[in-house]
Chain A
Amino acid sequence: MTEGDERWIARLTPPAGRDVAALLGMSLAVDVWERHVDSLVVAASAAQLAELERRGMAEVDRWATQGEYEAQVRNRAATGDGAEPGPAGAAKGGEQSDAI
């Protein structure tokens, strides 16, 4: 696997003046997991995220690689502790999410 190909779980925030609906209206080749009022949670390759940043389409907050994320979630389930995948603030502002 090359560096640009590694998949990440990330939060995308549209730039000032653009909204989430506009971001969803584009063909971005990202896997949308959650929709929030002011951001999306997605899975996408490092290259795709870098491209979104380069084009100024979204601010990208990388939480974890997919592998790290899976390990964190499974570990949390196994130990029953409250260790959260991703940053502590990741659940804020969330009304709705995922995947029809």
Chain B
Amino acid sequence: MASLIARVTSSSARSPLTRLLTAPLGLDVWEVGPDHVVLQAEEVQADRLEAMGYLVEQLQMTEPYVSAFATEAAAAGYHTVATLEQDLRRLADGHPEIAELVEIGRSVEGRPLWALRIGERRGSARKVAFFGCHHAREWISVEVPYRLAEHLLDNSSSEPVQGWLQQGEVWVAPMVNPDGHEHTRTTDRLWRKNRRRNERGSIGVDPNRNYGYMWGTLDVSTSSHVPSDQTYVGPRAFSEPEVRAVRDLVARQLIGGVLSYHSYSQLVLYPWGYTDDAIEDEADLSSMRGLAEDIQDLVKGVHGTTYVAQQASQLYPTAGDTTDWTYGEYDVPSLTIELRPASALEGGFILPADQIEPCWEENRPAALEFIRRVLAPPQG
């Protein structure tokens, strides 16, 4: 894997730039100028070039955009890592008989990963899980599952929620990637990955490419083996502690259905992401596609917003995502919802805070329907 992008110049006749283009040095040349060459190279190759008399200047792949986001987040109505913890704790403390705040793991930088368990008793047979913020910059994906937890607790004494919480459990983990989220708040609003320090200096693994079903089977822009890429799959499946935390929760609790929130684009995605082939099991396909289409209709019914139900790979190819793993490994209903907005023109990842509430409102009946289907007693 290439490790750095460098601008190479030479002031020495013994090391002409043309030699870089013709010699079998295994370099990936990106740009050729009259006085320089830009190339991608392994660190050892760069060292070798320097030894040969070239001047090698490393170009950073990204530059943090220092901004006022630190205060903006709170002012704008989005949670931060700290306020989310406070609010989850407040919800749990306010409903001790049915809610429990559980640390399901720790992030790369040591932040606790919180999940709220909601249900009258531990160890119910039927459980459903909601996840948010695998991707740091997708702030709205924290707010929808958080508000779902709040809604369930506020309505725990009335039907249908009461019945669900008597017979099952709802697990809500609104922020799977707190390190990345904090980085978007303080340094680079459009950061996507976690904050893993990769070999050779780049930072971040894409948590939504790190799950162990068909992991690493693609090497494309949207599912990459290059550590500096935005969709870097990591060195191996489940290499990331955030992803292991989700894995362990799903595995230990035998979660019966998973809905993972992302943004943006307004889509309801069902497996597979790793292949264009449809799910083989006809009953599973019809059930998950049907659920996705029902969700599309439920969302539209609230504010008229169009979310489109489709197979995940129709968006683009992704190997190692959450829902391919939960369906592929556990055969449970597994959906990804890409929340508001529809396009970069409407803010893209930087969704104006006045859209948090309508976005939650339109997703509420869909989330409740997902719970209903997963927690419903088996037929027959």
Chains A and B come from one and the same complex: yes
A residues near B (Cβ < 8 Å) are 1-2, 4-7, 9, 24-35, 41, 43, 45, 47-48, 50-51, 54, 63, 66-67, 69-70, 73-74, 76-77, 84-86, 90-91, 94-100
Is B348 within 8 A of A67, CB to CB? no
- Residue pairs across A and B with CB atoms within 8 Å: the count is 147
Residue in A closest to B350 when the chains form the complex, CB atoms:
A73
A contact residues around B350 at 8 Å (CB): 70, 73-74, 77
A contact residues around B190 at 8 Å (CB): 43, 66, 70
B residues near A (Cβ < 8 Å) are 5, 7, 30-31, 38, 57, 59-63, 65, 67, 72, 135, 138, 189-190, 192, 208, 219-222, 224, 226, 228-231, 262-265, 267, 269, 273, 308, 310, 312, 314-318, 321, 336, 338, 342-345, 347-350, 352-354
A75 to B352, CA, bound (A): 10
A contact residues around B312 at 8 Å (CB): 100
Is B344 within 8 A of A66, CB to CB? no
A97 to B307, CA, bound (A): 11
A70 to B94, CA, bound (A): 38
Give, as a whole number of angstroms, the nearest-CB distance from A1 to chain B: 4
Most chain A CB inside 10 Å of its own CB: which residue of B138, B265, B354: B265
Is A32 within 8 A of B347, CB to CB? no
Q: Indicate whether A85 sits within 8 Å of B338 (C-beta atoms), given known contacts A2-B59, A70-B67.
A: no
Is B345 within 8 A of A84, CB to CB? yes
Is A29 within 8 A of B221, CB to CB? yes
Is B31 within 8 A of A54, CB to CB? yes
Is B224 within 8 A of A5, CB to CB? no
Is A97 within 8 A of B192, CB to CB? no
